[in-house]
Structure 1
Amino acid sequence: ATKPILDMASYRDSLRARLNPTTSVLSLAYEGAKAHPKRVLFAEGEEEVVLRAAIAFKEGGYGTPVLVGREDVYDNLRALGIQ
């Protein structure tokens, strides 16, 4: 019997799942988050690590980040190259 040909993304996902079982569980969670994007509150928005997490969250397609912080949040975002 011949096996169906997988696209490259599916093939990569199957390899990751075989190497690390946790990966398959996490990828299900990521897919669910992308399918139902939400607004998520990021406290301490003036911290660079929080800003980077919020940027990654948005770019990953998981939803809309809502930053909470002092007024210098905008300056910090500009410093990271985000307008």
Structure 2
Amino acid sequence: MLRNMLALRQIAQRTISTASRRQIENKVPEKQKLFQEDNGIPVHLKGGVADALLYRATMILTEQHMPYISWPWLHFPRSRTDFSLFSQ
């Protein structure tokens, strides 16, 4: 048990250590240029293929599930007071 705790402690120290930090390229200026271009593409689709697929999947799911969501509202029993205007 103690051996496992020591091994876990060593692993944690190695992964948190700042000595072996890799330099990560800053991609923010590139993304800013991409999103600020005036090319007629909506902002939510400028991210590329992944954004387009996510957008289309969202639209398909929304359109397919709309009848299932609205069905209870269309068939919910109304009270008699709702029809009082039409019965005169």
Q: Which has the larger radius of gyration?
A: 2
Q: Higher helix proportion, which one?
A: 2
Q: Higher strand proportion, which one?
A: 1
* TM-score in terms of structure 1 length: 0.26
**Relative contact order (C-alpha < 8 Å, sep 6+): which is higher?**
1
* TM-score in terms of structure 2 length: 0.25
